[in-house]
Amino acid sequence: MVSDRRLGSERRAGDERRQSADHESVAAARGLISGGESFIDATTGAPYELAPMGSKSTLARSLLDGVGAVLVDIVGGFYEAGTDAKAWPQVLSRLRDLVDADVCAIASHEHDAGRGRLEHSVGIDALYVTAYADFYARDNVWLRDQEKFTTADTVWASQDLLPDARLVETEFYKFWLRPQELFHHLFGVINVEGDRVLFLMLGRARAKGAFWEDDADLIRRLLPALRRGLSAGVGFKRLQSLHRIALDTLDALPIGVFLLNDGGQIVVANRLAREILQDDEGLYVSTSGLGVRLTGGRVKVRDLILGGPSRAGERAGEIQGFSLPRGPGRKPVTLLLSPVQDFSEARNRSDPAAVLFAADPERPVEVDPRRLTRIYGLSRAEARVAALLATGKRLDEVAAALGLTYETVRKHLKQIFSKTSSERQADLVRTLSLGPGGLRI
pLDDT 10s digits, 251-264: 988 889 999 998 88
Q: Are 114 and 136 in contact (CB under 8 A)?
A: no
Decide if 1 is inside a domain: no
Q: Is the pLDDT of residue 94 over 60?
A: yes
Chain CA centroid to CA 180, Å = 34
Chain CA centroid to CA 153, Å = 23
Distance from C-alpha of 331 to C-alpha of 354, rounded to nearest angstrom: 25
Identify the pLDDT of residue 19. 45
Identify the pLDDT of residue 34. 34
Other residues' Cβ atoms within 10 Å of the Cβ of residue 31: 20
Q: Give the range of the structural domain holding residue 379, as residue numbers without chain letter.
A: 369-438
Give the residue, 124 or 56, on which the prediction is more confident: 124
| 110 & 222 share domain | yes
| 85 & 213 share domain | yes
Over residues 174-221, the pLDDT tens digits come to 999 999 999 999 999 999 999 999 999 999 999 999 999 999 999 999
Decide if 242 is inside a domain: no
| 53 & 72 share domain | no
In the predicted model, what is the mean pLDDT of residues 67-71?
70
The DSSP result for 129-191, as a single string, is HHHIIIIISTT-GGGS-GGGGSSTT-EEEHHHHS-HHHHTTSHHIIIIIGGGT--EEEEEEEE
| 97 & 205 share domain | yes
3-state secondary structure of 258: strand
Decide if 277 is inside a domain: yes
| 313 & 165 share domain | no
Domain boundary among 328, 359, 390: 359
Q: Are 14 and 100 in contact (CB under 8 A)?
A: no
Decide if 352 is inside a domain: yes
| 232 & 196 share domain | yes
| 274 & 159 share domain | no
- 75 φ/ψ angles, rounded to the nearest 5 degrees: -65, -45
| 342 & 418 share domain | no
Other residues' Cβ atoms within 10 Å of the Cβ of residue 427: 13
Decide if 241 is inside a domain: no
Domain count, the chain: 4
| The pTM of the whole model exceeds 0.95 | no
Decide if 181 is inside a domain: yes
What is the band of 68 on the pLDDT scale with cuts at 50, 70, 90? Answer: low
Distance from C-alpha of 218 to C-alpha of 77, rounded to nearest angstrom: 17
